[in-house]
Amino acid sequence: MNKWTIRIAFLILVMGGGILIGTLTAPGAWYAALNKPVFNPPNWIFAPVWTTLYVLIAMTGWRQFEARDHGSLMSLWWAQLFLNFLWSPVFFVLQMPWVALVVIAALWGTIVLFIRGTWSWDRPSAVAFIAYLAWVSFAMLLNLSIAVLN
C-alpha cells in the first residue's frame, strides 16, 4: 500500500468509527435527565472537538503504522481506539457511569503510555496526544462528576 492509501484508511477508520459510535449511542432522555456539574459544556462543543481529535488520532495511527518498528506503540494506539469507542456504549447505552469511568481511566492511562513512548522519537504524535489527553482528562472529570451526582 502506498502512504496516501494508508493515511486515508486510517482517517476512514477513526472518523467513520467515531461517527458510527456517536450516531448509535447519541445521548437521549436518560442523559438529559441526569444531574450535571456546572462545568458541563454545551452539547454543540462535542462534535468539533471530537472531529479535531479524531483527525489527530488517525494521524498518529498512520505515523506508527508507517514506522513499522514500533509495534508496542501501535498496540497502544489500537488499545486507546478500542477504549475510546467502548466508552460511549458503556456510558450512554448501558447507562453505567461508574463502569464508564473505569473505561475512561484505562483510556487515560493508555494515552499517557503512548505519549511517553513517542516523546523521544516522534514528537508530533506525542504532542497530538497531549491535546487528546487534555480532553480525556476533562471528560474523565465530567464522567466522575456525573457518576457522583447521580
Q: Name the CA dihedral angle for 104, 85, 83, 67, rounded to a multiple of 10 degrees.
A: -130
Q: Shortest CA distance to 14 belongs to which of 73, 60, 64, 74?
A: 60
Q: Let me know if 142 is exposed, middle or buried by CB neighbors in 10 A (0-12, 13-18, 19+).
A: middle
pLDDT, residue 70, reads 65
Residue 112 has pLDDT above 90, yes or no: yes
pLDDT, residue 2, reads 87
Mean pLDDT of 95-110: 98
Domain count for the chain = 1
Full domain range(s) for residue 10: 3-149
Q: Which three cell numbers stand for residue 56?
A: 489527530
pLDDT, residue 15, reads 96
pLDDT one-digit tens code per residue, 65-74: 988 766 789 9
CATH of the domain at 133: 1.20.1260
pLDDT, residue 69, reads 66
Place of cell 456539574: 37
Mean pLDDT of 50-71: 90
Average pLDDT score, the chain:
95
> What end-to-end distance do the CA atoms of the chain give, in Å?
49
3-state secondary structure of 64: helix
As a whole number of angstroms, the distance between CA 21 and CA 24 comes to: 5
Angle CA 56–59–64, to nearest 5:
130
